[in-house]
Amino acid sequence: MTKTVNQYGINFSAIERSDTETAQEWVYRALRYAVMSGQVQPGMALTIRGIANMLCVSAMPAREALWRLTSEGALHLKANRRVEVPTMSPAKLSEVLQLRILLETHAAERALPYVTEEILSQMAILNELQNEALRRQDPEQTIIQNQAFHRCLYEAHPNPVSMPLIEGLWLQLGPLHRLALSNMEDHYFTDRHVEVIKAVETQNPFGLKVAIESDIREGAGYATQTELLEQYARGEAPLDLPEGEFVEGLLKQ
């Protein structure tokens, strides 16, 4: 594993480059993580050369990584062939959340019969990790561990065909998650994951679906406050970026 630092002195601690993976794969993971954890603001343009220079690779890996993320819906290809972080309207957000509920309750129900003791204990561990991240006000890790919890359940199914679709929706919501979490401390927080685990333990499909749906609604609920969302759509919301220079690095070479 090589630890990589870009030309601005920013440390990609979470996206180290494995010795076996290709440059393109690494750029893809780094960019995906940046989008997923809300480090790039909607409406921001991502240029090939900017990304290539920031990560110290040629244009080729950057180009292909951008195409992949665009195909997955994480980024948006504008008419002038420039790539930017997609914006989100309240109506669109509502649709995405409905799709999340539809697909994830389905995935959970399908996975239920295949959940083993090991998977169950793994889910408990991931939930605890998320709670820790939440306690120490770490938005990125909270997001990551929450997704890991859900993924762990859904992938219990031997044919998790819906998993890529669900990940695509998570990716679209990525920029919003930080906004949601930045206001999270103001709210009381019921741990729906415990209810999910309980429903799995008792092999209760209906209870599981209810718990999943509640978890999704509440997790995103903080972002649905209209005034915040509209700020976000205009790119005005103060996303409380941990490393503002990272964002500039993405834009400017």
Partner DNA sequence: CATGCATAAATGTGATCACAAAAAAATCAA
Partner DNA sequence: TTGATTTTTTTGTGATCACATTTATGCATG
Q: Which residues lie near DNA (CB under 7 A)?
A: 22-25, 45-50, 57-61, 63, 80-83, 252-253
CB 116 within 8 A of CB 128: no
Closer CB to DNA, 54 or 176, in the complex: 54
Name which position in 6, 10, 44, 64 contacts a second copy (CB under 8 A): 64
Taking CB under 8 A as the rule, does residue 159 contact a second copy? yes
Residue given tokens 């919301």 in the structure block: 237
Q: Could you tell me the smallest distance in angstroms from the CB atom of residue 77 to DNA?
A: 8
Does residue 162 interact with a second copy by CB under 8 A? yes
Between CA 155 and CA 167 the distance in angstroms is 12
- Cα 166 to Cα 79: distance, rounded to the nearest angstrom: 27
Angle at 95 between CA 212 and CA 65, to 5 degrees: 90
CA distance 105 to 210: 8
Q: Is 158 in the site for a second copy (CB under 8 A)?
A: yes
Q: Least distance in Å: CB of 172 to DNA? A: 20
User: Tokens at residue 29, please?
Assistant: 């993971």
| Bridge partners, residue 77, by sequence | 83
User: Which range binds a second copy by CB under 8 A, 35-43, 141-149, 161-169, 215-223?
Assistant: 161-169
Residue 13 contacts residue 243 (beta carbons within 8 Å): no
Name the token pair of 130.
């998320």
Residues in the chain, total = 253
Q: Which does 165 bind (CB under 5 to 8 A by kind): a second copy, DNA, none?
A: a second copy
How far, in Å, CA of 142 to CA of 133, rounded? 5
Q: Which stretch binds a second copy (CB under 8 A): 7-15, 50-58, 158-166, 207-215?
A: 158-166
Which of residues 118, 164, 188, 227 is near a second copy by CB under 8 A?
164
Residues that bind a second copy (CB under 8 A): 22, 63-64, 67-68, 70-73, 81, 89, 91-92, 94-96, 98-99, 102-103, 106, 110, 158-159, 161-162, 164-165, 168
